[in-house]
Structure 1
Amino acid sequence: MTAIASGRFRTRAGTLEYAHVSGDGGPALCLLHGLGARWQTFRLLMRTLGPGWNIYAPDLRGHGRSDWVAGHYALSDFAADIEQFLTEVVAEPVVLVGHSMGGWISAMVAAARPEQVRGVVIVDSALYRLSQGQREAMIPYANPNHAMRSIAVSLRLADPELNQRWVEGRNQREQDPDEMLSRLRCPVLLIQGDPAAGALMAPAHVPRALSRLAHGSHVFVPGAGHAVHADAPGPVADALREFIAQRVQNSELNGEVR
């Protein structure tokens, strides 16, 4: 893989750090991490994809090396940053790949800016309203004292306010998932991890999500936990390649999108 470069981008609210791999004219991907993470969560996937991809991976506001913006961590705030990032940095139609909260942000951006988004890949997002019990079960993922070693550094860098929003369930209340998905007209791929390994995309909710998508498809990755792209980068890379070749490019050739 080509070396990963870093950059800084000034949004209307603060500065985002981002990683970039030049693909010399290849398909453009924008990778959006989940709550409490940073762009490095996609490093294995980027390596597995190999050369020929023009990849952008920003740290969302309040995460990683990006600025904290106290009081402004609504899903719409994250989406506004990414819309500006796509316009001013990526500057070409892109496939958005979002993990967990990043999947929600990807869908919101694609609905608002369809001319900028060729397709959306939602990686193990909870595309339903979490119950209080489900939110409480996920609290250890946002607690550096109990976190998996692989994300502990990311959590130490993140604004503590993000954890509080999660515990209170505010992000989940800000966007109706059914309405969000029904607005998408581009091809969408749902990549589901294995609930037995801790994944959040529940099997019962996949058909519901697909029924609301104009051009939806689904891949299940057995044995992979919530961080499917890190647990199983090979299957996720294969699914991405097939999705772009078979769904995105065919939709564009057939005039199904836009």
Structure 2
Amino acid sequence: MKEQRFQYKDIELNVMEGPKHGLPILLLHGATKNWQVFKPIIEELVHYLYVLAIDFRGHGKSKHVPGAYKLQDYLLDTHCFIKEYIKEPSIILGHSLGGMIGLMTAAHYPKLVRALIMLDAPLTTAALKRLITEQGEFANHLIQWLKVSRLLNISSFNNIHIPESLAQCDPDMLHAMINDFEATFHQYSIDELFPKIKCPLLIIRGNPKIGSLVEDHEVMQVKALLSDFTDIKLPYAGHSPINHDKRAVLKAINVFLRQYFKI
């Protein structure tokens, strides 16, 4: 596996690329994370897939783009990366925000997406709103910390060590999500997106009682819009199924892909 750069216009994304064998699968991480969140499953996926992952703009080692952190901006990056770098239709596996962007990509650019795997990705914005309401005050303190941390070279906040992935974030990206929620997420509508999905779809979700952002009634809403998809609920996983039940996640991915592709 190697890290390199992908550039288009004034955007520069950090890319992780595995050996070129098998169908391409693009891994899209969640908000405040980076591609390395997928490390626990990459080591197995590379055996039968051409694995690629990007750091979203404003995350990881990718370029910060102040003022351009709406879902449409992440969608544009993803579309350009598949079209100009991978250059063939790809499987998308997205966690949380990454799953939301994967859904938008499959809906708006169906010829670029072979299959979509949404890993505890919110199906509506309701759960995100609740989370932001609960964490808003802390998040705004964190935004201020991020602004000064680069000047003072500090790595803790209120005596709490800040993970590298969070310390790498552009504070303007967090500000957009926390304080400009409607403008950032307004293009995410399951009523509009799911009816446009033409590729195989797998939803892997955790248990809302221990942190999942996907509710049973939301899955029922999707079933009313899209009859043919696979839904797997992991009772002992929360919002981070890779960390909580890696084996179950890998099994679900493998079974799903073998159902549709020769791998």
- TM-score past 0.5 threshold: yes
Per-residue CA shift, 1:160-214, capped at 9, x if unaligned?
Answer: 1121122232333232222112211111111111112211111221111232225
Which of 81, 84, 88 is the equivalent residue of 1:88? 84
1:121 matches 2:133? no
Identical counterparts, % of pairs: 28
Per-residue CA shift, 1:46-76, capped at 9, x if unaligned?
Answer: 1243512100000011100000111111111
Q: Which amino acid counterpart does residue 164 of structure 1 have in structure 2?
A: H
2: CA distance between counterparts of 1:141 and 1:189? 31
**Do the aligned residues in 2 keep the contact of 1:42 with 1:230 (CA within 8 Å)?**
no
Which of 154, 161, 186 is the equivalent residue of 2:199? 186
Q: Which amino acid counterpart does residue 62 of structure 2 have in structure 1?
A: S
**Do the aligned residues in 1 keep the contact of 2:18 with 2:46 (CA within 8 Å)?**
no
Q: Which amino acid counterpart does residue 56 of structure 1 have in structure 2?
A: L
2:42 maps to 46
1:177 maps to 190
- Between 108-117 and 163-172, the greater mean CA deviation after superposition: 163-172
Change (3 A) 1:23 1:241: farther
Per-residue CA shift, 1:76-129, capped at 9, x if unaligned?
Answer: 111111111001111222110111111111011112221111111111111113
Change (3 A) 1:227 1:138: farther
1:27 Cα deviation from its structure 2 partner: 2.2
Which of 249, 258, 263 is the equivalent residue of 1:236? 249
1:10 matches 2:14? no
Change (3 A) 1:221 1:48: farther
Change (3 A) 1:181 1:12: farther
1:220 maps to 233
1:23 Cα deviation from its structure 2 partner: 4.5
Which of 240, 246, 249 is the equivalent residue of 2:261? 249
- Give the SS at the match of 2:115: strand
Change (3 A) 1:214 1:186: farther
1:235 Cα deviation from its structure 2 partner: 1.1
Change (3 A) 1:12 1:71: same
Mapping of residues 5-154 of structure 1, within 5 Å: 5-24=2-21, 26-130=22-126, 132-139=129-136, 143=142, 145=157, 152-154=163-165
2: CA distance between counterparts of 1:241 and 1:230? 17
Q: How many residues of Structure 1 are paired with residues of Structure 2 in the alignment?
A: 243
2: CA distance between counterparts of 1:242 and 1:215? 16
TM-score (norm 1): 0.86
1:255 maps to none
2: CA distance between counterparts of 1:227 and 1:115? 29
TM-score (norm 2): 0.85
1: CA distance between counterparts of 2:115 and 2:189? 20
2: CA distance between counterparts of 1:181 and 1:220? 19
Mapping of residues 162-173 of structure 1, within 5 Å: 162-168=173-179, 169-170=181-182, 171-173=184-186
1:202 maps to 215
Q: Which has the larger radius of gyration?
A: 2
